[in-house]
Chains A and B, each alone.
Chain A
Amino acid sequence: MNDGVNGVALAVFLFFFLLVTVMGFLAARWRKAANEHTLDEWGLGGRSFGTWVTWFLLGGDLYTAYTFVAVPAAIYAAGAAGFFAVPYTILVYPLIFTFLPRLWSVSHKHGYVTTSDFVRGRFGSKGLSLAVALTGILATMPYIALQLVGIQAVLDVMGVGGGESTNWFIKDLPLLIAFGVLAAYTYSSGLRAPALIAFVKDTLIYLVIAVAIIYIPIKLGGFDDIFASASEAFSETNPATGAPRGALVPGDAGQWTYATLALGSALALFMYPHSITATLSSRSREVIRRNTTILPLYSLMLGLLALLGFMAIAAGVKVDNGQLAIPQLFENMFPDWFAGVAFAAIGIGALVPAAIMSIAAANLFTRNIYKDFLKPDATPAQETKVSKIVSLLVKVGALAFVLTMDKTVAINFQLLGGIWILQTFPALVGGLFTRWFHRWALLAGWAVGMVYGTVAAYGVASPTQKHFGGSAKEIPGIGEIGYIGLTAFVINLLVTVVLTFVLRAVKAPEGVDQTKPEDYTADAGDPGVQVELPPATAGSTH
């Protein structure tokens, strides 16, 4: 690692950081609506975004700084296994195409702001809705923390992260400043801030990837040489495990893991509150379907990015912490000023999702815990105020997490978060297509999935960790190694189906369904669907 501060790179980084800060505050005036004190305004940008804004917002949201750092880092560490991110994102789009337009329609018709709002309205169960809300908040927190880890990695490589010797305050000061700025503009501008900043983020990222994927291979002697040296590096024995470090192609044993990770992650992605927030902020259901045809551009970028992991090996980047591999590769290969652009891309890539995630978690808390359980008669203005404050608290929590605990703890929780959030799939997606599942069966299935997933993940050891060493484990009954989240999901579904039969047989009360079949296909312009919903509470409780 570089000892001195890279002045040029830092200056370029600061320039872009200031630029997005100004944009973040000005965003409040962008497409401003008459009534800004509603949760629809602050938390969903007035539900007014068209195809391109939604595209940038979703891209900014799903392809986070952590993705940019972690995917190539996984390739750098183990080769082929890390490439599952590509099939995973390929599978996401047919899934979105199938169910999100229905969620959009029913949410607009009934003024739902969160997935829990929908679950409560569909199944008439506050308990189930609370379970979905808590899962969402729990899964989002470590995700935000990881964005800060991404910024930290960049700051470290630029030499402003501070060494181990400096005191903690100086060491973390840059992170604290970045965090303070993020918190301030999210508070004042809501979802409009990350939507606007996402333009800068994606432009920078595309630029950096395009340059990296052409410039670095030329410097390293082409892809032949890159893969040759990667292959050599992977065949070396890892002293910790006694097995080769990795492989260029997954072996027979790794194929189940690869496929289940891809499928499980794809199913989980749109259960995350922040993906739903970005989706519901779009103007019409056509915007969502159209987006599934242009979003794959990001997958292509992710694939190219993953290849940077091999380039880091070929370029002889040696880091103990795999997360630093890509920032270090940029630092080594690019001229200083362009390294600054690349670091800015990663840094801003962390701010956008962190903002959206904190807004999404805050919406969940406000709508499904505060309003449902603490203060049922809250006005839209009060809801917005609570949401703003909670979005701050969520970020402070994430910051405390990053500063006080080891980075591996954040990564472990992120892994658990993925397993957890997948357990809300039957209630949400099941609910979008059928009312057959019984609400109590869904709740029981969720609980079983959560417990199984957590216990199973706890039991996974790796050479460096006794617990939470990975996300794959033997699938009971099949004997292959598979993604724990997907196994838990299947168990969850089985429990739900069996209990639904039982509960229906004993005629347990089903709860009131507020929705009608035609609500799921309604589009903007149909009666009862307003493009700009006045108060966030319209239709949900009265």
Chain B
Amino acid sequence: MSQAPETGRGPVVTPVRVVIALCLVAPFVAMLWVGSYAKTDPVLIGIPFFYWYQMLWVPVSAALTMVAYKLWQRDQRARSASKGGAAQ
């Protein structure tokens, strides 16, 4: 799901892009692996683990998306700079 088909702008897979992909994939792994969080303990202020853990993932995934966004911006700027300001 990378923005692969852009031609002639350096390698498509770079370490930065791998990190971006990991940031975007992590919430899927965490949320779809229901067995990892389908339990009551530890309870937090009276709320079972199942509920607070998933709600904790809301800010975590937002932070991950934010990191992906910042890295993507940098990646694009670097690329357009090296290619003399082509379309982003």
B61 neighbours in A (Cβ, 8 Å):
90, 93-94, 296
Nearest-neighbor residue (CB-CB) of A255 within chain B: B34
A94 neighbours in B (Cβ, 8 Å):
23-25, 27-28, 61, 64-65, 68
Cβ–Cβ contact A87 & B54, under 8 A: yes
A289 neighbours in B (Cβ, 8 Å):
69, 72
A90 neighbours in B (Cβ, 8 Å):
27, 31, 54, 57-58, 61
A91 neighbours in B (Cβ, 8 Å):
27-28, 31
Cβ–Cβ contact B46 & A227, under 8 A: yes
B45 neighbours in A (Cβ, 8 Å):
222-223
B69 neighbours in A (Cβ, 8 Å):
97, 289-290, 292-293
Is A138 among interface residues, defined by CB-CB distance under 8 A? no
Is A369 among interface residues, defined by CB-CB distance under 8 A? no
Docked complex Cα distance between A120 and B87 (Å):
25
Nearest-neighbor residue (CB-CB) of B4 within chain A: A433
Cβ–Cβ contact A293 & B40, under 8 A: no
Given contacts A87-B57, A98-B1, contact A223 B32 (CB under 8 A): no
Nearest-neighbor residue (CB-CB) of B62 within chain A: A296
Docked complex Cα distance between A518 and B86 (Å):
10
A300 neighbours in B (Cβ, 8 Å):
55, 58-59
Is A299 among interface residues, defined by CB-CB distance under 8 A? yes
A299 neighbours in B (Cβ, 8 Å):
58
Is B88 among interface residues, defined by CB-CB distance under 8 A? yes
Cβ–Cβ contact B88 & A523, under 8 A: yes
Given contacts A94-B28, A250-B38, A293-B69, contact A517 B5 (CB under 8 A): yes
Cβ–Cβ contact B54 & A293, under 8 A: no
Cβ–Cβ contact B32 & A93, under 8 A: no
Given contacts A87-B57, A292-B69, contact A259 B46 (CB under 8 A): no
Is A249 among interface residues, defined by CB-CB distance under 8 A? yes
Cβ–Cβ contact A227 & B54, under 8 A: no
Given contacts A262-B32, A296-B62, A517-B6, contact A222 B46 (CB under 8 A): yes
A290 neighbours in B (Cβ, 8 Å):
69
Cβ–Cβ contact A303 & B65, under 8 A: no
Cβ–Cβ contact A255 & B38, under 8 A: yes
Instruction: Tally inter-chain residue pairs, CB-CB below 8 A.
Output: 128
Within 8 A of A (CB), among B51-75: 51, 54-55, 57-59, 61-62, 64-66, 68-69, 72
Docked complex Cα distance between A226 and B69 (Å):
39
Cβ–Cβ contact A93 & B62, under 8 A: yes
Q: How large is the interface on A (under 10, 10 to 19, 20 to 34, 35 or more residues)?
A: 35 or more
Docked complex Cα distance between A30 and B72 (Å):
34
Is B7 among interface residues, defined by CB-CB distance under 8 A? yes
Is B42 among interface residues, defined by CB-CB distance under 8 A? no
Within 8 Å by CB of B7, from A250, A433, A517, lies A517
Within 8 A of B (CB), among A113-149: none
Cβ–Cβ contact A296 & B34, under 8 A: no
Q: How large is the interface on B (under 10, 10 to 19, 20 to 34, 35 or more residues)?
A: 35 or more
Cβ–Cβ contact B3 & A521, under 8 A: yes
Within 8 A of B (CB), among A513-540: 517-518, 520-523, 526
Cβ–Cβ contact A526 & B87, under 8 A: yes
Cβ–Cβ contact B38 & A249, under 8 A: yes
Within 8 A of A (CB), among B11-63: 23-25, 27-28, 31-35, 38-40, 43, 45-48, 50-51, 54-55, 57-59, 61-62
Closest Cβ–Cβ distance, residue A220 to chain B (whole Å): 11
Cβ–Cβ contact A522 & B57, under 8 A: no
**Most chain A C-beta atoms within 10 Å of own C-beta, residue among B27, B61, B72:** B61
A89 neighbours in B (Cβ, 8 Å):
58
Given contacts A293-B65, A296-B59, A300-B58, contact A83 B50 (CB under 8 A): yes
Is A86 among interface residues, defined by CB-CB distance under 8 A? yes
Docked complex Cα distance between A259 and B32 (Å):
5
Docked complex Cα distance between A299 and B57 (Å):
10
Is A359 among interface residues, defined by CB-CB distance under 8 A? no
B39 neighbours in A (Cβ, 8 Å):
249
Docked complex Cα distance between A255 and B36 (Å):
10
Cβ–Cβ contact A293 & B62, under 8 A: yes
Is A503 among interface residues, defined by CB-CB distance under 8 A? no
A303 neighbours in B (Cβ, 8 Å):
51, 54-55, 58
Docked complex Cα distance between A434 and B1 (Å):
10
B6 neighbours in A (Cβ, 8 Å):
517-518, 521
Is A100 among interface residues, defined by CB-CB distance under 8 A? no
**Most chain A C-beta atoms within 10 Å of own C-beta, residue among B4, B35, B62:** B62
Within 8 A of B (CB), among A281-306: 289-290, 292-294, 296-297, 299-300, 303-304
Docked complex Cα distance between A86 and B34 (Å):
13
Cβ–Cβ contact B38 & A522, under 8 A: no
The 10 closest A-B pairs by CB, nearest first: A223-B46, A224-B46, A87-B31, A296-B62, A255-B34, A94-B24, A303-B55, A293-B66, A259-B32, A299-B58
Write 18 A-B pairs (CB below 8 A) sorted by A numbering: A86-B55, A87-B31, A91-B27, A93-B61, A93-B65, A97-B24, A99-B1, A224-B46, A225-B46, A227-B46, A248-B50, A250-B38, A250-B50, A289-B69, A300-B58, A433-B1, A434-B5, A520-B3
Known: A94-B65, A300-B59, A518-B6. 20 other contacts (CB 8 A): A86-B54, A87-B31, A87-B54, A87-B57, A90-B54, A93-B27, A94-B68, A97-B69, A249-B48, A249-B50, A250-B34, A259-B33, A262-B31, A263-B32, A293-B69, A296-B62, A303-B51, A433-B5, A522-B87, A526-B88
Give A contacts to B, CB under 8 Å. 80, 83, 86-87, 89-91, 93-94, 97-99, 102, 222-227, 248-252, 255-256, 258-259, 262-263, 289-290, 292-294, 296-297, 299-300, 303-304, 307, 433-434, 517-518, 520-523, 526
